[in-house]
């Protein structure tokens, strides 16, 4: 019986330590100090934040990669989310959802292979409407604390990233990048 008590106490200490190191930060809609992801598309590779290209350069997303600190620790999984906060007719804090992939293993992010994980929302390339100017497209990488679940709201693609991250107990973002394009 004494052994069971020790195991319970040890489990509680480990849970508290993990929770203390994992926080959800505010979403920043600009090039921030967050480390950059490398985004590989069919016609361009985005390495620096705020690169601008024609929208056809982003037609197919081939991979994302990140080699940051402790990214490939065994057991850690990540969620990548791509959004357009400049989409017209969206309420404050909403963005147009272009892609969500959850369950990405750190090794795949280091290798840039995206062999693991599953798309919760399939990739939809940028399609900024005519006469709406230049749009910013952000890709955020979050550390997962639990498996990520889809919600019925994702069908509309009107998306509130902060709410999604909070509901799924995501940490970070640990990395991001942003590119721009227009009609």
Tens-level pLDDT at each residue, the chain (183 residues): 555 444 333 333 333 334 446 899 999 888 877 889 999 999 999 999 999 999 999 999 999 999 887 888 788 999 999 999 999 988 888 899 999 999 999 999 999 999 999 999 999 999 999 999 999 999 999 999 999 977 666 767 889 999 999 999 999 999 999 999 999
Instruction: Flag whether 13 is in a domain.
Output: no
The span from the CA of 13 to the CA of 167, in Å, is: 24
With b for 16 or more beta-carbon neighbours within 10 A and e for fewer, the 11-40 pattern comes to: eeeeeeeeeeeeebeebeeeeeebbbbbbb
Question: Tell me, what's the pLDDT at 12?
Answer: 31
Contacts of residue 129, Cβ cutoff 8 Å, sequence gap at least 6: 88, 183
Give the global pTM. 0.86
Instruction: Flag whether 31 is in a domain.
Output: yes
H or E, element range at 167 = helix 161-167
Question: Tell me, what's the pLDDT at 19?
Answer: 44
The span from the CA of 32 to the CA of 109, in Å, is: 20
Tokens of 49: 């934040």
Give the CATH number, domain containing residue 32. Answer: 3.90.280.10
Q: Which domain holds residue 69?
A: 24-181
Instruction: Flag whether 87 is in a domain.
Output: yes
Instruction: Flag whether 16 is in a domain.
Output: no
**Number of structural domains found in the chain:** 1
| Each residue's pLDDT tens digit, 15-67 | 333 444 689 999 988 887 788 999 999 999 999 999 999 999 999 999 999 98
Q: Give yes or no for a contact between 142 and 101, defined as CB atoms under 8 angstroms apart.
A: no
Q: Give yes or no for a contact between 96 and 90, defined as CB atoms under 8 angstroms apart.
A: yes
The span from the CA of 15 to the CA of 42, in Å, is: 42
Instruction: Flag whether 8 is in a domain.
Output: no
DSSP code of residue 103: E
Contacts of residue 166, Cβ cutoff 8 Å, sequence gap at least 6: 24
Residue with tokens 């709201």: 153
Rama region for 13: left / alpha / beta (φ>0; ψ in -120 to 50; rest): alpha
Instruction: Flag whether 15 is in a domain.
Output: no
Instruction: Flag whether 161 is in a domain.
Output: yes
Instruction: Flag whether 2 is in a domain.
Output: no
């Amino acid at each position: 019986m004494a052994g069971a008590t020790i195991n319970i106490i040890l489990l509680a200490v480990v849970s508290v330590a993990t929770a203390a190191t994992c926080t959800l930060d505010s979403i920043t809609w600009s090039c921030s100090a967050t480390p950059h992801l490398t985004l590989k598309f069919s016609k361009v590779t985005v390495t620096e934040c705020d690169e601008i290209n024609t929208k056809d350069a982003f037609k197919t997303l081939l991979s994302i990669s990140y080699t940051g600190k402790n990214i490939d620790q065994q057991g850690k999984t990540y969620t990548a989310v791509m959004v357009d906060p400049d989409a017209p007719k969206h309420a404050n804090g909403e963005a147009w959802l272009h892609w969500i992939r959850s369950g990405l293993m750190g090794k795949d992010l280091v290798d840039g292979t995206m062999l693991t994980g599953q798309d919760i929302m399939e990739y939809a390339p940028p399609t900024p409407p005519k006469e709406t100017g230049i749009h910013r497209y952000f890709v955020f990488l979050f550390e997962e604390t639990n498996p990520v679940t889809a919600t019925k709201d994702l069908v509309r693609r009107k998306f509130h990233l902060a709410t999604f991250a909070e509901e799924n107990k995501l940490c970070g973002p640990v990395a991001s990048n942003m590119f721009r394009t227009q009609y």
